[in-house]
Amino acid sequence: MKYAVLSGKGGTGKTLVSVNLAAVAKNPIYVDCDVEEPNGHLFFKPRGIKNEAVTVKIPVVDEDLCLGCRKCVDFCKFNALASVIDKLIVFEEVCHACGGCMLLCPNNALTERDKVIGEITSGDSETVKVISGILNTGETSGIPIIKKLLAKIVNEKATVVIDCPPGSACIVMESIRDADYCILVAEPTVFGLHNLKMVYELVKLFNKPHGVVINKALKNNHLINDFCCENEITVLTEIPFDSELGQLNSNGEIAARKSAAYHDLFSTLLQTVVKEVEHETVAHS
Amino acid sequence: MKQLLILSGKGGTGKTTVASAFIKLAQAKAYADCDVDAPNLQLVLEQSGQPESNDFFGMPKAEINTMLCAKCDRCREHCRFDAVSVIDDVYSIDPFACEGCGVCEIVCPVRAITLKPLVSGELVLYKSETVVFSTAQLKMGSGTSGMLVTEVKKEMKAVDVGADLAIIDGSPGIGCPVIASISGVDMVLIVAEPSVSGISDMERIIKTAKIFHAKIAVCVNKYDTNLEKTRAIRDYCQQHEIPYIGEIPYDEKVVKTVNEGLTIVDVFCDAGSAVQEVFNRTMKEMNP
On whether both A198 and A69 belong to a single domain, the answer is no
Report pLDDT for B102.
97
On whether both A110 and A137 belong to a single domain, the answer is no
Q: 140-199 in B: which are within 8 Å (CB) of A?
A: 140-143, 145-146, 172-176, 179, 193-198
Show which of A90, A116, A142 is a domain's final residue.
A116
CB-based contact B140 A198, cutoff 8 Å: yes
Question: What percent of chain B shows pLDDT beyond 90?
Answer: 78
d(CA B283, CA A233): 46
Which domain CATH number covers A185? 3.40.50.300
Over residues B207-227, mean pLDDT: 95
ipTM: 0.88
Checking if the pLDDT of A169 tops 60, the result is: yes
Report pLDDT for B10.
78
Residues in Cβ contact with A11 at an 8 Å cutoff, skipping those fewer than 6 apart: B10, B11, B12, B13, B193
Q: pLDDT band for position B171 (50/70/90)?
A: confident
Tens of pLDDT, residue by residue over A203-249, are 998 899 999 999 999 877 788 999 999 999 999 999 999 989 999 99
Structural domain count, chain A: 2
Mean of all residue pLDDT scores within chain B: 93
- The residue with greater pLDDT, A140 or A275, is A275
Nearest CB among A36, A142, A250 relative to B196 is that of A250
Over residues A91-119, mean pLDDT: 94
Partners of residue A20 in chain B, C-beta under 8 Å: none
- The residue with greater pLDDT, B142 or A172, is A172
Q: How many CB pairs under 8 A join A and B?
A: 169
Show which of A69, A99, A116 is a domain's final residue.
A116
Closest-CA distance of chain A to residue B77, Å: 12
Mean of all residue pLDDT scores within chain A: 92
Q: pLDDT band for position A178 (50/70/90)?
A: confident
On whether both A37 and A63 belong to a single domain, the answer is no
On whether both A199 and A72 belong to a single domain, the answer is no
- Domain range spanning residue A148? 2-54+118-284
Over residues A153-166, mean pLDDT: 92
On whether both A138 and A122 belong to a single domain, the answer is yes
Chain A residue closest to B198 (CA)?
Answer: A250
B2-57+121-286 CATH: 3.40.50.300
* Closest among B172, B178, B194 to B16, alpha carbons compared: B172
Checking if the pLDDT of B144 tops 70, the result is: no
Checking if the pLDDT of A284 tops 70, the result is: no
Report pLDDT for B45.
86
Show which of A75, A101, A116 is a domain's final residue.
A116
Class of domain B61-117: alpha beta
On whether both A94 and A107 belong to a single domain, the answer is yes
d(CA B231, CA B233): 5
Chain B residue closest to A222 (CA)?
Answer: B259
> Where in chain B are all domains bearing CATH 3.40.50.300?
2-57+121-286
Report pLDDT for A280.
77
CB-based contact B179 A250, cutoff 8 Å: no
Checking if the pLDDT of A285 tops 60, the result is: no
On whether both A238 and A211 belong to a single domain, the answer is yes
On whether both A43 and A177 belong to a single domain, the answer is yes
Cα A122 off chain centre by: 15
Coil, helix or strand for B225?
helix
pTM, to two decimals: 0.91
On whether both A166 and A222 belong to a single domain, the answer is yes
Coil, helix or strand for A272?
helix
Whether A153 contacts A3, CB under 8 Å = no
Q: pLDDT band for position B178 (50/70/90)?
A: very high
